[in-house]
Amino acid sequence: PTITKTFHLLTDDDLTPAQATALIDFAAQLKADHYAGKPQHHYLAGKTLAMIFQKPSTRTRVAFEAGMAQLGGHALYLSTNDLQLGRGETIADTARVLSRYVNAIMARVYKHQDIVELAAYATVPVINGLSDLAHPTQGLADMLTVKEHLGGWAGRTLAYLGCANNMAHSLVLSGALVGLNVRIACPPHCQPDPAIIARAQAIAQQTGATITVLSDPWQAVQGVDIVYTDVWVSMGQSLSQEALDALQAYQVTEEIMAAAGPGAIFMHCLPMYRGQEATAEVADGSRSVIFDQAENRLHLHKALLVELLSDAGPGILK
């Protein structure tokens, strides 16, 4: 078969700033249509999404699977233990075989290189459902949540406190794309990938945002609009006791929220460990928007799938 250039979403910045904001706007439109009871079943009738999971998931799996169902398509949950991948079949062969059956592949992997390889051999779009490097569908969906709560991105600032992991990477990239300022505050053991920061800063120059990496959590939250945190230990990661001890200073508490300012909202991609990266008081308090974030994964995934697999959307990725 002729191999045409296929769009893959491996990191947030596979989208241009214009594409990212248009995709988020389209997600908001699909969300409004969904609540208005507008039929959406015809968009992806007959389309299939393969979902490969090397590690557990609640939101990513269910939001993609329910999203495909709402759009009239079908999603297949494929755990690596059940696939021949678990017995040593190569990623390259898996990608080529799945491409003959399905219209797109979503994968959650340990090593980012695995999803790069999957995309290199797939002839259908590949979506990163979290790797050790990035979590782009979460980063982009979070920008929708920010816009809903704060009215927009320009002139607003998000402070991320904790381990500068895949989530922090997606927040700097997605933030830069939409023009949201992002400050990362992390201990020396948990620094972000300098190449990702450089990429985010280059995008931010075009969109008018600033991306900074600090160490002091109190300095980072001064006057911000959003305080964001994530688990200290990501799936597949292990941290030394010294690193865990250093992370204690980055816990999001009522005092940290007070330092951020009266209007600041609290965000977390979930799952969360109350009493570690954030207190239960903050997580379940009136400024927390964590369940809006979880919901917006559904709408963002739907927008992405409609754009990738049909001509019914605004044509953002063309």
Closest to ligand CP by CB, 33 vs 292, is 292
* Catalytic pick among 108, 156, 287, 299: 108
Q: Interface with ligand CP includes 140 (CB under 6 A)? A: no
Task: Please say which residue, 130 or 180, places its beta carbon nearer to ligand NVA.
Answer: 130
Residue 186 is assigned to a ligand binding site:
no
Residue 130 interacts with ligand CP (CB under 6 A): yes or no: yes
Determine the Cα–Cα distance for residues 51 and 157; give it in Å rounded to an integer. 34
- 3 state SS of 131: coil
- CA dist., res. 307 & res. 9, Å (int): 12
- Decide: helix, strand or coil at residue 267: strand
Of 90, 93, 89, 125, which is closest to residue 107 (Cα–Cα)?
125
- The verdict on whether 297 is a catalytic residue reads yes
Angstrom distance (rounded) from CA 257 to CA 244: 21
Is 284 labeled as ligand-binding?
A: no
3-class SS of residue 156: coil
C-alpha–C-alpha distance, residues 272 and 264, integer Å = 19
Q: Which is nearer to ligand CP, 98 or 269 (CB)?
A: 269
CA separation (Å) from 123 to 93, 97, 105, 126?
A: 12, 10, 10, 9
Q: Return the one option of ligand CP, ligand NVA, none that residue 231 interacts with (CB less than 5 to 8 A, by type).
A: ligand NVA
* Number of other CB atoms surrounding residue 110 within 10 Å: 17
In the shown chain, the binding pattern of residues 96 to 115 toward ligand CP, with x for contact by CB under 6 A and - for none, equals --------------------
Alpha-carbon distances of 179 from 2, 206, 303, rounded to whole Å: 38, 9, 20
From the list ligand CP, ligand NVA, none, partner contacted by residue 261 (C-beta under 5 to 8 A by kind): none
Q: Determine the interface stretch with ligand CP among 68-76, 88-96, 221-229, 267-275 (rule: CB under 6 A).
A: 267-275
Which tokens is 17 given?
Answer: 């700033």
Q: Is 293 a catalytic residue?
A: no
User: Does 299 participate in catalysis according to the annotation?
Assistant: no
- From residue 119, give the alpha-carbon distance in Å to each of 11, 55, 291, 304: 12, 19, 31, 16
The number of beta carbons lying within 10 Å of the beta carbon of residue 240 is 9
Q: Does 84 bind ligand CP (CB under 6 A)?
A: no
Query: Binding segment for ligand CP among 16-24, 36-44, 55-63, 279-287 (CB under 6 A)?
Result: 55-63
Which position's Cβ is nearest ligand NVA?
Answer: 234
Per annotation, catalytic residue among 8, 112, 135, 301: 135
Catalytic pick among 138, 156, 190, 199: 138
Residue 77: beta bridge partners? Answer: 51
Q: What's 13's DSSP letter?
A: G
Q: List interacting residues with ligand NVA (CB under 6 A).
A: 130, 165-167, 230-231, 234-235, 269
* Residue 301 binding ligand CP, by CB under 6 A: no
Q: Using CB under 6 A as the criterion, which residues of the chain lie in contact with ligand CP when the complex forms?
A: 57-60, 130, 138, 269-271
Question: Binding site for carbamoyl phosphate: residue ranges?
Answer: 57-60, 84, 108, 135-138, 269-270, 297
Q: Which residues are catalytic?
A: 108, 135, 138, 230, 269, 297
